[in-house]
């Protein structure tokens, strides 16, 4: 049965507590359960974890067995495996209790479906469930229970259908005190020719949308008006696809691009009837900016022909010089990295690996003293702004590294990174050109430019524009590491919890080696070549003109930099500061701690913990609610008992004895879209010893703009061209003068005392002094296994904290492509 494949964490708290009491004994208890579960490596507990469980006895309400069950739930242990372990350790009472509990679980197998029919017809709503015998069914229309003879069965029959039957219906399935609710079903009444609608009138379109011709950057306005009683409603469609945000008689699209061309039509409807408008064809012509870009292409090609012989001569002269001169050590004036992982694409395949790939590379680079900015799920504007801020951090002699994981493509030798909001048929105008970013880095006279592109390099059939990057200089310090070769795809290995890309799976084992960066990447390519799963599918390609032995591990030797450069570094440090830990005092006497931890530069975790409570308060918990719409908070996974349940797979909780009251965790994403101070409400739920009803108390909380939200990446940058074209022009990366060095940081009012928040490796650290706070972005310490010389299947990473996958082989059915279409 499917119920046995559920995570043990889905069991109710009272069930887990009863099971824990049965296992809190020394003879046939939680230690024997841990030994039985160790037959699978992912459920094997370390001595440190077992000690942490045993320390629960120091707490009045602590339970070692409950702590162990929480560990197993974090590792996605299923109910059937737990039953197998209980039978293996011969704990008959616990096995019987678990088996009975699972059998009694109520699970809906058939959901009621929305229907529409004419008056006088017959409508049947069906809801079926599996579980213990004697299930009861209750049907509701809105909040009103249906008490007739058909309201207590799995089928609700509405016959004959009348206007009073219109509305939303839901079914409640119960067995004793247990119950579950079905999804809502909407019953609509359609008007027919033979019915008597009274004052109801047919839907009639009075104004049809008209075809239009427009240019890129223009605003599109289409209108469709209808008359009806009840009043007409509107829904617009583009190329037969619904536009869910367009619900009025006027369709308005600002700043047109080629993705907006095609056929538009409007559905006009009410409760009784729906009609369709005429089709309006919208054609998008080239704008003047697009036409100007063709001129830039022609000039760029001529300039490249002039400089190409010089580049070859310089390269040969440098090779001769290196052979004649003794080896010398190199250093960087600073090391900066921008890491972008795009997963949640609007119009394309969702990806899983970028979150873990960015996290692991971040930890490796920070150990090599890189100032790392790690960002997840950026749209077109946000990627542009992030690149602008990245370029502002560069200066003479700085090592700059850009890593991108997500969808991408390559046309005519140029690589393009695809934002999450790119249309289904995107072109270079909707993406970022990597070569243009390179020209901006060269303007800063950087010491080393490294690009690691973990994306596909297939040809984009929708893009026939030859993009000419800005004029590249002969710097002999460029390294491109492509996860795959030309016209090929990059893959990720799909896992239930944390996935990895093929490229990072091998790169992370060598990226910290003290050797020339091209030699390091060559060894990564050799490792991938020895892996059977990648043969004929993915092969790393290295492109470089690096003529010096520069390594990512080179030491930083700071030189005297300009005041503007110091100001930019300080402001970047401010943008990576977490809010200080807070203590909230509620009127009832309960004191609650708020702590903060950074998973990425734009992802933060907030935890709540009860510090003090009066004796008359029996139980209490503090939840966070009312977050602003700018940020992304999954309400179903907020205020959870563990980081894993909150959706955080990568942060590590400090190995400290658990307090008497556990913490609740809430994960906040998309902080880069926060337009004002982060505000939310702390809601305290508590009960008194002499009261059965729960009491609530609320306090508003404001924590400013945490982490990267201070940079306002959602705002356009003045350094960019106003072009509608999305790829960056050469002029857009020119270094601003000292007078404009702080543009884009308007939200930062003070840069004093900021270096105290910035660690020596560029890590942002919390100012909280509480010993129970979370470690921010701290990787689990474990050694990466050496890759065997003989070809073997790729194994999952051991350095990801919550997976613990050591020996599971990758299968061909597990790999997914980062395909670009």
Rounded to whole angstroms, the Cα distance separating 267 from 281 reads 16
| Distance linking the first and last C-alpha atoms of the chain | 38
Rounded to whole angstroms, the Cα distance separating 624 from 640 reads 10
Give the residues across from 222 on adjacent strands.
251
Rounded to whole angstroms, the Cα distance separating 621 from 608 reads 8
- Nearest CA to 596 out of 651, 551, 649 is that of 651
Contact between 565 and 337 (Cβ < 8 Å): no
Rounded to whole angstroms, the Cα distance separating 357 from 505 reads 8
Name the token pair of 541.
């390609």
Q: Given the DSSP bridges, would you call strands 185-190 and 167-175 parallel, antiparallel or unpaired?
A: antiparallel
- Nearest CA to 304 out of 397, 441, 412, 232 is that of 412
Q: How many CB atoms lie within 10 A of CB 389?
A: 22
85: phi then psi, degrees, rounded to nearest 5: -70, -40
Choice among 456, 531, 620, 648 that is catalytic: 456
Q: Given the DSSP bridges, would you call strands 478-482 and 448-454 parallel, antiparallel or unpaired?
A: parallel
Place of tokens 């119960």: 174
Rounded to whole angstroms, the Cα distance separating 648 from 665 reads 9
Q: Is 431 a catalytic residue?
A: no
Contact between 623 and 685 (Cβ < 8 Å): yes
Alpha carbons within 13 A on the beta-carbon side of 746: 10
Give the residues across from 378 on adjacent strands.
none
Q: Is 407 a catalytic residue?
A: yes
Contact between 784 and 798 (Cβ < 8 Å): yes
3-state secondary structure of 24: coil
Choice among 407, 430, 576, 730 that is catalytic: 407
Angle at Cα 203 formed by Cα 198 and Cα 207, nearest 5°? 145
Exposed, middle or buried by CB within 10 Å (0-12, 13-18, 19+), for 667? buried
Q: Given the DSSP bridges, would you call strands 591-600 and 603-612 parallel, antiparallel or unpaired?
A: antiparallel
Is the four-CA dihedral 609, 612, 614, 615 of positive or negative sign?
positive
Rounded to whole angstroms, the Cα distance separating 621 from 138 reads 32
> Which residues are known to be catalytic?
407, 456
């Amino acid at each position: 049965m499917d119920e046995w494949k559920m995570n043990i964490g889905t069991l109710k708290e009272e069930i887990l507590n009863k099971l824990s009491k049965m296992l809190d004994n020394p003879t046939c208890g939680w230690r024997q359960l841990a030994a039985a579960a160790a037959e699978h490596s992912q459920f094997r507990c370390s001595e440190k974890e077992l000690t942490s469980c045993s320390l629960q006895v120091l707490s009045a309400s602590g339970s070692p067995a409950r702590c162990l069950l929480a560990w197993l739930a974090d590792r996605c242990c299923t109910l059937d495996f737990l039953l197998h372990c209980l039978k293996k350790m011969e704990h008959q009472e616990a096995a019987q209790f678990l088996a009975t509990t699972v059998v009694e679980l109520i699970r809906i197998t058939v959901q009621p479906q929305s229907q529409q029919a004419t008056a006088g017809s017959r409508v049947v709503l069906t809801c079926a469930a599996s579980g213990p015998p004697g299930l009861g069914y209750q049907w509701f229309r809105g909040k009103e229970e249906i008490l007739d003879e058909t309201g207590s069965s799995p089928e609700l029959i509405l016959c004959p259908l009348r206007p009073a039957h219109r509305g939303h219906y839901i079914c409640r399935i119960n067995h004793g005190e247990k119950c579950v609710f079905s999804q809502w079903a909407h019953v609509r009444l359609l008007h027919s020719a033979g019915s008597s609608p009274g004052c109801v009138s047919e839907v009639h379109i009075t104004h049809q949308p008209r075809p239009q011709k427009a240019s890129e950057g223009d605003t599109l306005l289409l209108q469709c008006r209808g008359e009806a009683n009840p009043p007409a409603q509107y829904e617009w469609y583009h190329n037969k696809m619904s536009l869910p945000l367009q619900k009025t008689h006027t369709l308005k699209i600002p700043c047109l691009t080629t993705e907006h061309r095609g056929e538009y039509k409007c559905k006009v409807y009410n409760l009784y009837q729906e009609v369709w408008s005429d089709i309006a064809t919208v054609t998008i012509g080239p704008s003047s900016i697009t036409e100007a870009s063709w001129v830039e292409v022609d000039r760029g090609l001529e300039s490249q022909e002039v400089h190409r012989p010089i580049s070859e001569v310089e390269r040969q002269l440098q090779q001769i010089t290196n052979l004649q001169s003794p080896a010398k050590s190199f250093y960087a004036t600073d090391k900066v990295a921008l890491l972008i992982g795009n997963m949640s694409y609007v119009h394309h395949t969702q990806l899983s690996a970028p979150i873990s790939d960015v996290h692991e590379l971040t930890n490796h680079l920070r150990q090599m003293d890189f100032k790392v900015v790690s960002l997840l799920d950026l749209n077109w504007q946000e990627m542009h702004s992030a690149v602008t801020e990245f370029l502002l951090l560069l200066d003479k002699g700085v090592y700059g590294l850009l890593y991108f994981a997500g969808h991408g493509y390559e046309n005519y030798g140029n690589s393009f990174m695809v934002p999450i909001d790119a249309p289904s048929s995107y072109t270079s105008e909707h993406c970022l050109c990597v070569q243009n970013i390179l020209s901006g880095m060269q303007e800063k006279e950087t010491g080393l430019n490294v690009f690691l592109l973990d994306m596909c390099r297939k040809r984009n059939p929708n893009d026939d524009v030859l993009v000419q990057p800005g004029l590249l200089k002969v710097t002999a310090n460029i390294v491109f590491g492509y996860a795959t070769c030309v016209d090929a795809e990059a893959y990720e290995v799909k896992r239930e919890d944390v996935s990895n890309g093929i490229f990072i799976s091998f790169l992370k084992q060598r990226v910290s080696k003290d050797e020339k960066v091209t030699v390091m990447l060559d060894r990564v390519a050799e490792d991938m070549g020895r892996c059977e799963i990648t043969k004929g599918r993915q092969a790393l390609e290295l492109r470089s003109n690096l003529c010096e032995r520069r390594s990512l591990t080179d030491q930083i030797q700071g030189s005297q930099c300009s005041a503007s450069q110091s100001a930019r570094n300080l402001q970047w440090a401010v943008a990576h500061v977490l809010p200080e830990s807070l203590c909230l005092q509620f009127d009832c006497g309960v004191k609650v701690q708020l702590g903060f931890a950074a998973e990425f530069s734009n992802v933060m975790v907030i935890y709540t913990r009860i510090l003090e409570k009066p004796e008359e308060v029996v139980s209490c918990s503090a939840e966070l609610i009312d977050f602003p719409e700018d940020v992304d908070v999954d309400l179903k996974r907020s205020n959870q008992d563990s980081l894993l349940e909150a959706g955080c797979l990568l942060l590590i909780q400090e190995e400290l004895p658990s307090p008497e009251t556990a913490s609740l965790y809430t994960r906040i994403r998309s902080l880069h879209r926060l337009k004002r101070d982060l505000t939310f409400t702390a809601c305290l739920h508590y009960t008194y010893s002499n009261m059965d009803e729960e009491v609530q108390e609320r306090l508003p909380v404001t924590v400013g703009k945490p982490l990267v939200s201070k940079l306002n990446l959602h705002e356009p940058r003045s350094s960019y061209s106003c072009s509608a074209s999305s790829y960056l022009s050469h002029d857009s990366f020119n270094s601003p003068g000292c007078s404009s060095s702080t543009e884009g940081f308007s939200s930062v009012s003070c840069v004093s005392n900021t270096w105290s928040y910035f660690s020596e490796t560029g890590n942002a650290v919390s100012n909280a002094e509480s010993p129970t706070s979370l470690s921010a972005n701290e990787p689990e310490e474990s050694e990466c296994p050496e890759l065997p010389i003989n070809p073997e299947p790729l194994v999952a990473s051991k350095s990801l904290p919550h997976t613990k996958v050591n020996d599971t082989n990758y299968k061909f059915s597990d790999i997914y492509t980062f395909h670009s279409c």
